[in-house]
A and B are shown apart, each in its own frame.
Chain A
Amino acid sequence: MSTARFLRQALTIARRDITATVMTPTFLLFLLSPLLMISFGVIGSMSATSAASSGEARQRLIVIAPDAQRERIVRIDRELRRVFTRDDVRPKLQVDRANGDSARQARALFDDAAIEPTAILYGPMERPTIVRRVGAKAEGRYLAVLAAQLLRAERAGDAVTSTPRFETVGREVPSESGKGQSAYFATLGIFFLTLMLSGQAVGAMAEERSNKVIEVLAAAVPLESVFFGKLLGAFGSALLFVGFWGTLLVNLPRLLPPDVAGFVSNLGVAVGPLFPLLFIGYFVMSYLLQSAVFLGVGSLASTQREIQMLSLPITIFQFAMFGLASYAAGNPQSQVAAVAAIVPFSSPMTMAARAATIPALWPHLLAFVWQALWVGITLTIAARLFRRGVLKSAGPKRRRKAPA
């Protein structure tokens, strides 16, 4: 059979599969699933924050001081909150007038049901007493700093001595930590995409079996064409997914606040502009390897339950490979990294991470040849499994004889 005919048949099946997958509301849901996951995460964290802040609203830092110091204490607190991070979770400051026995006044405040003081400062600012609740060390220290600043301000006057201008800059040359972070994100990206997309191949096969279309296909085109058509179909849908999110991520720094965008721009890679190409190449290899396994396994299963049972060990295997590749990403010069680069199923993730940390390009050429070899082996085995699995003869129906 000619290659052109083989391709034409495979593309016919792929076209049907892509159309059937993409032109459904379910695909939109699938496409937006990461957004949904992020949204659920944000909603969850907002709920948790809301629950926590209801208690925080009554928390107070209290300074018991004469009225003359009140205005200055409030101003210094405002300035300090600009300097200290996490000032949004620091309790509000309350300045109470000293009424004689400040120690008793402080204890009374701790017993007040209307508020929840976390730390109270009283006494002269040169030797203040700070009482705090268990675990409120930071709040105690904050009041100590406030007292010190108050003293300085009283002695030096309130003149502003410095007005800084802040700028955010990124590095021209990627830092080692930036490359390390890129390596991890590359590993995670390929793992996440492959995990999410390769499983679709199983579903494609289950559809053929449940609709009994497989014999129609098998009569018209060789099973190898059916297999590659299915693989291409699932890959086409996967590319749409990757294209959509890839475009979004590439343009993400423009949409982010400068500080976050600066973090993203710090994610440098050792191989430079070739990295996106290498990443896509390794994703394709990883996808083909794992989809072929899923498709081969899917052809052996005749029910959704069987597919789930067969998918579980494969998913566990995928996680194991991710674990191996993640370790290799963090330790690119280790022996484990060499093993992870050789093991076919962890190799794409490991090599993508390597592209982020090590500039040499020739290992990637070697890796692509090695992985392509394994893609070929896996596809051949999976196609044979497919051939054996999809056309099982029902056999003759045996006639039941009525009992004599």
Chain B
Amino acid sequence: MRDLAVSASGLVKRFGERIAVNGVDIAVPRGQIYGVLGPNGAGKTTSLRMLLGIIEPDEGERTLLGSASPRDMSDRVGYLPEERGLYPNMKCREAIAFMGALRGLPWSVGRKRARDLLDSAGLGHAADDKIRKLSKGMAQLVQLLGSVVHAPDLLVLDEPFSGLDPVNQERLEQLIRAERDRGATVLFSTHVMAHAERLCEHISIIAGGTVRFEGTVDAARALLPARAQYTPRQDAPEIAAMLPPDALHEKGAWRFTVPEDGIESLLVQLIEAGHGISGLSIERPGLHDAFVRIVGADALADAQTEADA
């Protein structure tokens, strides 16, 4: 049995008539970065809240850091909620120390660690600034630092990249990797595939309150065949008959799905027919494509709208 930081089976949550989460199973290995992906309203936040014990599931079981009672583990968990919240009149250092104190870290230790964390995140100059003076991105980073100040074994981040500019997104990615390198397990939700693709070892794709996929990023991408782009030395219309039926001709190049038995025999045929090879590239599908395939185009549109916003 794998060493799991978080596990859940058959989680169900209803809000009145609406079923927000309908039988979610999750297994997050210790020491890894795990992504929960899904379009808006898929049930990601509700699932995370149930895993943390903020709300109780109507059905199902979950364990957090080996305990069936997640609230008992709260001092070993860091959490960044989707709706960011800080006291605007608190100084950055105090805000971080306060979040540590909530998780059992003495104030004096929290203040010292806060200073170090702010320095390492490039926010040392703002240590004694009040939160209301910070930009949205800086405030979000401060809250993230507050969620790691007590060196948690598990870090749960709900849509952490939302609202950050590219520079701060990069900082956040570095921080997540640093937490993983320290030995923490990182579980985060997102609907932006690029972050998950760069960071995650394992992912879970949720849509409509159910898990549609769980596994490695590579396994998700392997659900779709690779695509090839072939440029002949001598282009001719009869090439189309030799390529798979989905082949498209654009600007002297042919794009098509790589056959299940490989591309080698096809290339031999093309060379023997005298068309030669001027260029050839094989692209593995990205997580974005796998996500669209798994959850459907409607879900992608939702995700794209949100990402654009």
Contacts and interface: CB of A to CB of B under 8 A. Distances in A.
Nearest to B103: A220
Interface in B24-67: 40-42, 46, 52, 54-55
A212 B85 contact: yes
A218 B85 contact: no
B81 interface: yes
Contact of A1 (B55, B71, B104, B143): B71
B249 interface: no
Contacts of A214: 85
Nearest to B70: A219
Interface in A196-221: 207, 211-221
B79 interface: yes
Contacts of B55: 391, 393
B111 to A, nearest CB: 13
B86 A213 contact: yes
A208 B143 CA distance: 15
**In terms of DSSP, what is the predominant structure of the interface of chain B?**
mixed
Contacts of B87: 16, 20, 207, 211, 213
A393 B15 contact: yes
Interface string A381-404: 000000000010101111100000
B272 interface: no
B79 A220 contact: yes
B195 interface: no
Interface residues of A, number: 29
Contacts of B42: 396
B83 interface: yes
Given A212-B83, A220-B103, A393-B46, A20 B74 contact: no
A221 B75 CA distance: 9
Nearest to A397: B40
A8 interface: yes
Contacts of A9: 102
A346 B25 CA distance: 53
A212 B84 contact: yes
Given A211-B85, A211-B88, A216 B79 contact: yes
Given A16-B87, A216-B85, A396 B79 contact: no
B72 A215 contact: no
A219 B85 contact: no
A9 B105 CA distance: 11
Given A12-B98, A218-B54, A20 B89 contact: yes
A219 B41 contact: no
B71 A396 contact: no
> In this complex, which of A5, A9, A216 has the most chain B Cβ atoms within 10 angstroms of its Cβ?
A216
B54 A12 contact: no
B251 interface: no
Interface string A160-196: 0000000000000000000000000000000000000
Contacts of B88: 211
A16 B81 contact: no
Contact of A219 (B15, B81, B301): B81
B275 to A, nearest CB: 44
A214 B49 CA distance: 13
Interface in A365-394: 391, 393
B41 A396 contact: yes
B79 A395 contact: no
Nearest to B81: A215
> In this complex, which of B71, B102, B302 has the most chain A Cβ atoms within 10 angstroms of its Cβ?
B102
Contacts of B146: 216
A24 B88 CA distance: 13
Contacts of B295: none
A397 B191 CA distance: 14
Contact of B81 (A5, A211, A216): A216
A222 interface: yes
Interface string B99-117: 1011110000000000000
A397 B104 contact: no
Contacts of A222: 71
B198 interface: no
Contacts of B74: 219-221
A253 B226 CA distance: 92
A217 B20 contact: no
B54 A219 contact: yes
A395 B18 contact: yes
A222 B73 CA distance: 12
Given A1-B71, A220-B102, A396 B54 contact: no
A215 B86 contact: no
Interface string A1-21: 100010011001100100010
B40 A215 contact: no
B102 A217 contact: yes
A161 B276 CA distance: 144
A397 B41 contact: yes
B261 interface: no
Contacts of B85: 211-216
Contacts of A217: 102
A195 to B, nearest CB: 26
Contacts of A220: 74, 79, 99, 102-103
Contact of A221 (B81, B102, B143): B102
B11 to A, nearest CB: 15
A79 to B, nearest CB: 66
Interface in B139-190: 143, 146
A101 B151 CA distance: 106
A207 B187 CA distance: 29
Given A215-B81, A216-B79, A222-B71, A395 B98 contact: no
List 5 tightest A-B contacts by C-beta distance, closest first.
Answer: A396-B41, A212-B85, A220-B102, A213-B85, A215-B81
Interface of A: 1, 5, 8-9, 12-13, 16, 20, 24, 207, 211-222, 391, 393, 395-399
Interface of B: 15, 18, 20, 40-42, 46, 52, 54-55, 71-72, 74, 77, 79, 81, 83-90, 98-99, 101-104, 143, 146, 298, 301-302, 305
17 contacts: A8-B104, A13-B102, A16-B98, A20-B89, A211-B85, A211-B86, A212-B83, A215-B81, A216-B143, A219-B52, A219-B74, A221-B74, A222-B71, A391-B55, A395-B15, A395-B41, A396-B41
Given A219-B74, A397-B41, 7 more contacts: A9-B102, A12-B102, A24-B89, A212-B83, A213-B85, A216-B143, A395-B15
